[in-house]
Amino acid sequence: AQTVTQSQPEMSVQEAETVTLSCTYDTSENNYYLFWYKQPPSRQMILVIRQEAYKQQNATENRFSVNFQKAAKSFSLKISDSQLGDTAMYFCAFMPTNAGGTSYGKLTFGQGTILTVHP
């Protein structure tokens, strides 16, 4: 079974500053994806960024980037130039991709980190 741990229940940052959210995971799978989802007060789950485990290069999406450390099973999210609209709960998620495996395609979420961006 997979577990995903987000050790920071809450974080805050000033507008325009940079913040990093932590995530660690535990798995015996070799092939998997990692995701960060954002959940604003509207409760909509929005994909922020995705990382394939077989890729060594860290994924980036505009102001969002990850630091993927496969050996350490760590997957942190960096938000640069924070904006008020980034205020939300952020979930780290893991999905194995070994076709035929019992966990194939199933997302396991961390507990979430509430991020508040202050003006």
Q: Which residues bind other proteins (CB under 8 A)?
A: 33, 35, 37, 42-47, 50, 52, 91, 95, 97, 102, 105-112
Closest CA to 119 of 78, 77, 87: 87
CB of 11 to other proteins, least distance (A): 17
CB of 50 to other proteins, least distance (A): 6
**Cα separations (Å) of 111 from 6, 48, 58, 59, 63?**
6, 16, 23, 22, 23
Beta strand 113-118 with 10-14 is parallel
Helices vs. strands in the chain: H and E counts, helices first: 0, 12
Residue nearer to other proteins on the CB measure, 82 or 89: 89
CB of 118 to other proteins, least distance (A): 24
Residue nearer to other proteins on the CB measure, 33 or 64: 33
CB of 57 to other proteins, least distance (A): 16
Residue nearer to other proteins on the CB measure, 13 or 52: 52
Six-digit token string for 53:
């485990």
